[in-house]
Amino acid sequence: MGISMEGGGKISGLLQLFRPKNAVMSVLGVLVGWLNVSQSFTSELLVACLVPPLILMAGNAINDYFDAPIDAINKPERPIPSGRVSEREALISYLVLSAIGVVISLHLGVEEFLIALAFSIAWYAYAKWLKAMGLVGNILVSLGVAFTLLFGALAAGRVNSRVVAFSSIAFTSNLAREVVKTIEDLEGDATYGLRTVAITLGVERAGIFAAILSLLSSLLALVPAISSMAGLLYLILTVIVSVPLLVYSAYLSTKIERKEEAGRVSSLLKISMLLGILGMLLDPLVR
């Protein structure tokens, strides 16, 4: 019984380490990029859907590896502070997942290989150095989200204006969420001397900055609908449902005073992003 419980704890720890929900979001991003360029289903699509989640899960592992002391304060339930996953296991996970993702990206072409290699290195740099630099690290994470769409389009053969527009929306909305998360993690980050947005600007101004980014994302989301780049499903899921959530998140961001409030805004932004991605994903299938 003790062995099975320990094994279950290890599995749950690894799942939490890899953040599978984020990995699924990256696959959806790839599909958005691909389907807005091509509706064909090939082996390249399968590989394209594997590379970003592998690189992202590797990045999550190395992030927890370097964040273990901070997570002991901010999030003691995380896999490493809770003892379910060792630091060595997290490091090995990063190396193995990165290697697999980079190697299989060769099937897609040189450009895709270079992107996979660049982000596998970038996630290490983010976890070790860039995260402590505040906004620079937040921008890198948001670029990673935007590049899943561009990666999918590139794997399909080309990057068009619609995918660029969608990537811009993904970048700004995710950056807003990253800023909100710096408010949520303020206590532990301050203890370890990190220069996050919330620490350098203060909670109130960081909230205003997040609100501006959310509103900017809302405006960018209107462009595909106004310019006829997208159709009815995009209008319903993204403009009618997702955009109001972004605007509401912007309002709530200016009212954040406590960690719990920041957590709620972060969750709301994630829901908005998911709805937006679904609109971008399903729309080309019915146009």
Confidence label for 6 from pLDDT (cuts 50, 70 and 90): low
Sequence-separated (6 or more) residues with CB below 8 Å from residue 202: none
- Which residue would you say has higher pLDDT here, 268 or 187? 268
Give residue 7's pLDDT: 64
Confidence label for 4 from pLDDT (cuts 50, 70 and 90): very low
Question: Which two three-digit tokens encode residue 85?
Answer: 């996953």
Give residue 58's pLDDT: 98
- Which residue would you say has higher pLDDT here, 71 or 125? 125
Give residue 14's pLDDT: 94
Measured CA to CA, the distance from residue 190 to residue 164 in angstroms comes to 36
Measured CA to CA, the distance from residue 33 to residue 27 in angstroms comes to 10
Q: What is the pTM of this model?
A: 0.92
Beta strands in 127-248 (DSSP E): none
Give residue 2's pLDDT: 47
> Model confidence over 200-229: pLDDT tens digits?
999 999 999 999 999 999 999 999 999 989
Mean pLDDT score of the chain: 94
Give residue 245's pLDDT: 97
Backbone angles phi, psi at 68, to 5 degrees: -50, -45
What percentage of residues in the chain have a pLDDT greater than 90? 87
Number of other CB atoms surrounding residue 5 within 10 Å: 9
> Model confidence over 130-168: pLDDT tens digits?
988 889 999 999 999 999 999 999 999 999 999 999 999
Give residue 90's pLDDT: 97
Give residue 74's pLDDT: 78
> Model confidence over 19-37: pLDDT tens digits?
999 999 999 999 999 999 9
Confidence label for 191 from pLDDT (cuts 50, 70 and 90): confident
H/E stretch holding 102 reads helix 87-105
Is the pLDDT at 38 greater than 90? The verdict is yes
Measured CA to CA, the distance from residue 8 to residue 15 in angstroms comes to 11
Give residue 1's pLDDT: 41
Give residue 31's pLDDT: 98
